[in-house]
Amino acid sequence: MAAAAASIGIPLTVPGSPLPGPGAGEHFVRPGFVRKTASDRPGVAQPVPERDIPPQPWQRIFIAALVLAALALGGWEAYWRAFGAVPGYHNGNDAWALQRARIDSGEGNATVLTGASRVLFDVQLPVWQQATGERPIQLALEGTSPVPVLEDLAADRNFTGRVLVGVAPDIFFSGFAYRGDAIADFHKRTPAQRAGTWLARHLVEPYFAFYDSDFALPTVVNRQAWPLRPGSRKGTRVRKLLVQEADRNSHMWRKLETDPQYRALARSIWAEDFGAPPPGMDTPAKARKVIDTQIDKAVVAITTLRARGVQVLFLRAPSIGPYHAYEDKYFPRRQTWDVLLQRTGAPGIHFEDYPSLQGYQQPEWSHLSASEATRFTTALMPIVQRQSWSTPHAPADGASLSRAAR
């Protein structure tokens, strides 16, 4: 190797090295790389290696890189625009934290909406505001039980308002918390995270349709039709379903209404779970234990909230078709909703008890379309306004309480 290098004129040593030992006065070099001292000589200082930067047309390279990045970004944006995507605020933990922070910034007496995705999709803030003069704080989290949010509010003495709690049976009574880290993230936000959130919400989110986790390149790659490993179970990630505004007022993405293929995909993803009980609830005894645990937690949180004068109202929003059948099979009303109302003593609105809350278009069986969500909230508001939220109830059973709340 040394002979080959010498034959093409590459010097292997440089005279003048102060290093002792064999080869003193010389040290090994490579073209463009100079090590001033050997790294394997103990007791000798080890400066950082230096690499010479060859002269290049850096200005033209920089401009070319910018042009290529802009073309790639523009192409990605154009692709998703053609797919039907529109700009909207990112539904991340940072957006949730901004709304949660309102409670500790002077709005502790506000009305809070929490629950899973049905409260997020189906309850429209502008309609609520028009009916009551107040725009609620939207703290619902898709795929996530509201019980941890209730516990967080119970621990916050700044909160003295009212809470509408959405009950999606398969989420609430199983304790599933897909977005459960949002609460912890809120309590440990850093200045860098706050700055990043501000920049994204002012420079990116209102203008670019591609800025959605469903359209991220790693997500697109992962959801390709890769072969399943032996013994593994298919579990397709839920696709994009909603469009969100700055204060988390949300509505269904129109593609679910207009694209039959995409609507069928959304339904098929829900249906993957319909054939079996949720994890850890495969026997009646296990199911009862999980359900009781979640109700116990709700009772403790609501007791704490009520002691501070906070008013609580439960809402069971509509579901239809196979999704409703799945909920009825594994989370029957008399063993879940009725028990919840009985044990917490809180009033509740169940869509099955009100004709005006039934018969809405739900493209993928679980959430209302955008126009139907407006119509639903309009029908819901008179029922909400008739509730005596602050009055403790102690009926003989949950069903009589639900009827009495009408």
Distance between CA atoms of residues 369 and 376, nearest Å: 10
Residue-level pLDDT at 140: 98
| 8 Å CB contact between 158 and 354 | no
125: CB partners within 8 A, 6+ apart = 135, 136, 138, 247, 249
Residues 116-149: pLDDT tens digits?
A: 999 999 999 999 999 999 999 999 999 999 999 9
| 8 Å CB contact between 13 and 28 | yes
CA distances from 72 to 61, 85, 204, 210 (A): 16, 17, 16, 12
| 8 Å CB contact between 254 and 370 | yes
Residues 325-376: pLDDT tens digits?
A: 999 999 999 999 999 999 999 999 999 999 999 999 999 999 999 999 999 9
CA 17 from chain center: how many Å?
60
Please tell me the pTM assigned to this model. 0.81
Give start and end residues of each alpha helix (H) in 190-312: 191-203, 217-222, 255-258, 260-271, 284-307
CA 172, 328, 256: angle at the middle one, nearest 5?
75
Structure tokens at 70: 């802009």
| 8 Å CB contact between 94 and 193 | yes
For all residues of the chain together, what is the average pLDDT? Answer: 87
Give the residue among 151, 228, 215 at the shortest CA–CA distance from 183: 151
Confidence at 47, pLDDT banded by 50, 70, 90:
low
Residues 234-261: pLDDT tens digits?
A: 778 899 999 999 999 999 999 999 999 9
Residue-level pLDDT at 236: 86
| Sole residue written with tokens 């290696």 | 49
CA distances from 96 to 179, 188, 216, 248, 346 (A): 10, 13, 20, 8, 26
Q: What is the dihedral of CA 163, 167, 171, 176, to 10 degrees?
A: 20
